[in-house]
Amino acid sequence: MKTLTDEQRNFLMESIRDVPDFPKTGILFKDITTLLNNADAFTLLIEHLRARYESSGLDYIAGIESRGFIFGAALAAKLGIGFVPIRKKGKLPSATIGEKYALEYGFDEVEIHIDAFEKTKEARVLLIDDLIATGGTAAAAAKLIKDAGAQCIEACFIINLAFLGGTDKLAGLTPCYCVLEVG
């Protein structure tokens, strides 16, 4: 199941709830909690990702806070490899390195433990999150993986809001794989 059929993609897309006007008016939020509580959909997704990445020689999966933790930890357990969290500034308990990224008005920052990959020389890492929109957080996370001494072999997103061009921000940093495309 390295590739999904149209029927499987439709099943996954239909398991995701649309929430209008969240978090603000005019936004149509893609709520993955309905995919998570649908055992058939969640199993299909994780099995698809396992099949895609099982022979990639991965050492770790890095998940972006917070929904990337869900998919990343489940996939890491299936593959028998470690999971590394990438969190917002100030949330990790030990020494970190950070990467700032631009928001519409201002900046935000994500961090990773400085020693996240030190047990594996030239670690091969998959970056994962539930959704890519404008790509700022994902690009910052991919840079952090490199700055921590590892190689981001690919960034995986369950949903790509293609009309926002987020995967373009990852060009030159890492290849992207998006399970589902919107617009």
Q: What is the 3-state secondary structure (H, E, C) of the chain?
A: CCCCCHHHHHHHHHCCEEEECCCCCCCEEEECHHHHCCHHHHHHHHHHHHHHHCCCCCCEEEEECCHHHHHHHHHHHHHCCEEEEEEECCCCCCCEEEEEEEECCEEEEEEEECCCCCCCCCCEEEEEEEEECCCHHHHHHHHHHHHCCCEEEEEEEEEEEHHHCHHHHHCCCCCEEEEEEEC
10 C-beta neighbours (distance < 10 Å), count: 12
> Which residue numbers are catalytic?
67, 104
